Amino acid sequence: MVTLTFQLSTEAVGALLRPVVGEGGFQSLLRQLQASLDNDKLTLTSDLIAKMVRYVRDYGQGGFQGRLDAVLGELKKLSEVLRPLDEIP
């Protein structure tokens, strides 16, 4: 399994650590992300990344999704760097 660890900004950490109210799927995702946070470093598995992408893609932007903006921004940067791998046979 692939894991990625990267440093988040103070603002991103603050957004992720805000209290989560409720028991829905997105709330569960936020709790998983909170558990994956160690100080300002977030460790994500490929499964957790896929879940984040699925939620944002399927449910669009909103209050909870906005809490993931910084994390998603970092993942987009990574995807741009890796894009040339698609061209390798």
Question: Domain limits of the chain?
Answer: 3-87
Band the pLDDT of 58: cuts 50, 70, 90: confident
Give the CA angle between residues 38, 49, 67 to the nearest 5°: 65
Band the pLDDT of 9: cuts 50, 70, 90: confident
The pLDDT of residue 85 is above 70? yes
pTM: 0.80
DSSP 8-state class, residue 19: -
DSSP 8-state class, residue 21: -
- Burial degree of 2 (CB within 10 A; 0-12, 13-18, 19+): exposed
